[in-house]
Chains A and B, each alone.
Chain A
Amino acid sequence: MRRFILIAVPYLWLVALFLIPFVIVLKISLSDVALARPPYMPQLDFAAGWEGFKAFFAALDFENFWFLTTDDLYWKAYLSSLQIALTSTVITLLVGYPIAYAMARAAPEWRPTLLMLVILPFWTSFLIRVYAWMGILSNEGLLNQFLLWLGLINEPLTILNTNTAVYIGIVYTYLPFMILPIYSALERMDDSLLEAAEDLGCSRLSAFWLVTIPLSKNGIIAGCFLVFIPVIGEFVIPSLLGGSGTLMIGKVLWEEFFSNRDWPVASAVAVILLLILVIPIILFQRNEQKQREAEG
């Protein structure tokens, strides 16, 4: 019995917080727009009993998913989201790895402080931090003023409302998710392995490639997924820092919901997004599993 409860609790959790909302969204995606409240049809009419049930299911169809294929806005948005997510994951890795490496090499008494500094931004609201970036990147912003003052540029650079600003925002926001898993992999690494590699004829650099990188591989993979997966659906950063040219599926989703008030199409977009995300999430789980097995 206790065993049963132990197993049941996480499943109940999953059902309540994931499956039920998903079924609701799926149901909306199969419905039609209506000038009503909520703005879609059909509604399940419990009073009509079994007949009501049949009528309800008869009214559901895949029309909205069809619609997504007719307008190239949608698949372009998906592709562009994937591309932005991929690029920013690579940039985050390139920025995050050296930071994680330096942290892991730092004197042990410094490490908790450095770790604290990485986590510190989470203590302020995400929105406030993105707004702060608007202040930094705008034409009259801190960055431009600084560059003008240095004399490096003669007129302000347009950064805000471009993809560059989106990348800056994403890399900044998601950097800790990249640093932490890589740091934890590097910190666990035994220094004598590097000495052994050098002893066996490696230069410092080749010891890094042949030992440090492979041993932090799982941290790298975990970090990349932790950045890639949420960035695909990212909405706040592209809408605040990006311009009209920034196409991301999160933004499209928001516009369908709140500007067009087309909940069914918006839900269909969300369902497809979820299906796209399921693949990397499963791969991520596999990686974690493999790592646990290797350690166990």
Chain B
Amino acid sequence: MSQTVFAPWEDPNEKPLIQFKNVTKRFGDFVAIDNLTQDIFAKEFFALLGPSGCGKTTMMRMLAGFEAPTQGQIFIAGQDMAKIPPNKRAVNMMFQSYALFPHLSVWENIAFGLKREGKDKDAITARVEEMLRLTRLSKFAKRKPHQISGGQRQRVALARSLAKAPKLLLLDEPLGALDKKLRQDTQFELMDIQEKTGTTFVIVTHDQEEAMTVASRVAVMDEGQIIQVATPAQIYEAPNSVYVADFIGDVNIISGRAKPNGEKVATQWAEGQPDIIGTTATKFDAGQEIHFAIRPEKVAISTEEPQDAANKVQGKVLDIAYLGNISTYHVELPTGHVIKAQTANTRRLSRRQITWEDPVWISWTDTAGVLLER
């Protein structure tokens, strides 16, 4: 692996900044975090992704010190955090609701944490001005939070949490309230800030696209557990379960029985249909339940039978979703399965247009999909 790639989690000598060790958090009988163990490394941009109520905010709040684990320990920079109150942690949180102080101006909001450190006036002024410039808020320094727009408020919250140069910055759905354009701009801004300041970011989001854009690693959570942690590309290309594959992006899932065959594994999925041939590193027993997952853009669609494809099935077009740059075809197979196939619209002119009810062939190579146990 080349040295320029940032992947501290692959280096066994690297000390993690944050360690969750068998952390369980209960609210009464309800288990919000279920025996969770996870390392997060310095300078990572770590995204927590999962459906509503899966425990993302709870994890953040435990890092910030607003909730204590019911069981297990959390270490930050090697120190057990159990007895450390929020105001003694080198951790800052950007709240989902921004939590800006309504009685203070933008300037004073950003200076709030610095003043608590007892820094001298000039140092505070310099730092606040720097933060204002970084978040492009200099013009609004004197305004109160209710006198600026939602996007500006969000940037104030970001500036305020960054001002103390924390070791760890927690962002709880920081961009939830923004429209798509501003959201994308801010995502890149965040990445830029992260690169400039070298801060470790943990970001909560339920927008998978956002997680894929900003994160060095993504953790997909469900019901208080982390199901998979990997880089965005790995999560997308090699999900470890149907749950993750389904959660991240669009996917076709075909379930069947495994039939190992040397290097390859065939999936028997329907009477009278050819087996789906795939490659996998996982060992499957003959007859074991198996799920074949393939992304729509890996499925080719054509009107004529493809000659050299490892897998091909005939069907008819049920629906077409035109998305400008791409089109998604919903193809119904004779077995009743509906497979989504996606093509870029650049080649549209060179090909006979496919429309509703057309008989078509869909095909994919034997490495296009992944084979999953669960």
B-binding residues in A (CB < 8 A): 190, 192-193, 195-203, 206, 210-211, 214-215, 217, 294
Distance of A217 Cα from B103 Cα, bound (Å): 10
Contact of A192 among B92, B99, B164 (CB under 8 A): B99
**A198: B residues at CB distance < 8 A:** 65-66, 85-87
**A200: B residues at CB distance < 8 A:** 87, 92, 112-113, 116, 160, 164
Residues A199 and B92 in contact in the complex (CB < 8 Å), given A190-B97, A192-B97, A206-B116: yes
Q: Which of B91-107 contact A (CB under 8 A)?
A: 91-93, 95, 97, 99-103
Distance of A211 Cα from B103 Cα, bound (Å): 8
Cβ-closest chain B residue relative to A192: B99
Chain B, residues 23-50, CB within 8 Å of chain A (1/0): the string is 0000000000000000000000000000
> Can you list 10 residue pairs at the A/B interface with Cβ under 8 Å?
A192-B97, A192-B99, A195-B86, A195-B95, A197-B101, A199-B86, A199-B91, A199-B92, A200-B164, A202-B116
Question: Is there contact, CB below 8 Å, between A192 and B85?
Answer: no
**B99: A residues at CB distance < 8 A:** 190, 192-193, 195-196
Q: Which 10 A-B pairs have the closest CB atoms?
A: A200-B113, A201-B116, A196-B99, A192-B99, A198-B86, A214-B103, A198-B87, A201-B87, A199-B93, A200-B112
Question: Is there contact, CB below 8 Å, between B87 and A203?
Answer: yes
Q: Closest Cβ of chain B: how far from A222's Cβ, in Å?
A: 16
Q: Closest Cβ of chain A: how far from B185's Cβ, in Å?
A: 25
**A210: B residues at CB distance < 8 A:** 112
**A196: B residues at CB distance < 8 A:** 93, 95, 99-101
Cβ-closest chain A residue relative to B111: A200
| In the complex, B304 has a CB within 8 A of chain A | no
Cβ-closest chain A residue relative to B157: A196
Distance of A217 Cα from B104 Cα, bound (Å): 13
| In the complex, B371 has a CB within 8 A of chain A | no
With A196-B95, A199-B91 already in contact, 19 other A-B pairs whose C-beta atoms are closer than 8 Å: A190-B99, A195-B93, A195-B95, A196-B100, A197-B101, A198-B66, A198-B86, A198-B87, A200-B112, A200-B113, A200-B160, A201-B113, A201-B116, A201-B117, A202-B116, A203-B87, A210-B112, A214-B103, A215-B103
Question: Is there contact, CB below 8 Å, between A199 and B87?
Answer: yes
**B85: A residues at CB distance < 8 A:** 198
**B113: A residues at CB distance < 8 A:** 200-201
**B95: A residues at CB distance < 8 A:** 192, 195-196
**B97: A residues at CB distance < 8 A:** 190, 192
Cβ-closest chain B residue relative to A295: B146
Distance of A269 Cα from B206 Cα, bound (Å): 70
Distance of A3 Cα from B117 Cα, bound (Å): 57
Distance of A206 Cα from B118 Cα, bound (Å): 13
**A206: B residues at CB distance < 8 A:** 116
The listed residue with most A CB atoms (<10 A of its CB), out of B85, B116, B146, B164, is: B116
Distance of A225 Cα from B95 Cα, bound (Å): 36
Distance of A192 Cα from B160 Cα, bound (Å): 15
Distance of A225 Cα from B51 Cα, bound (Å): 50
**A192: B residues at CB distance < 8 A:** 95, 97, 99
Distance of A217 Cα from B101 Cα, bound (Å): 14
Question: Is there contact, CB below 8 Å, between A195 and B66?
Answer: yes
Question: Is there contact, CB below 8 Å, between A202 and B87?
Answer: yes
Distance of A217 Cα from B102 Cα, bound (Å): 12
Cβ-closest chain A residue relative to B117: A201
Cβ-closest chain B residue relative to A211: B101
**A211: B residues at CB distance < 8 A:** 101
**A195: B residues at CB distance < 8 A:** 64, 66, 86, 93, 95, 99
Distance of A190 Cα from B101 Cα, bound (Å): 10
**B112: A residues at CB distance < 8 A:** 197, 200, 210
Q: Closest Cβ of chain A: how far from B83's Cβ, in Å?
A: 15
Residues A199 and B146 in contact in the complex (CB < 8 Å), given A193-B101, A206-B116: no
Q: Closest Cβ of chain A: how far from B246's Cβ, in Å?
A: 33
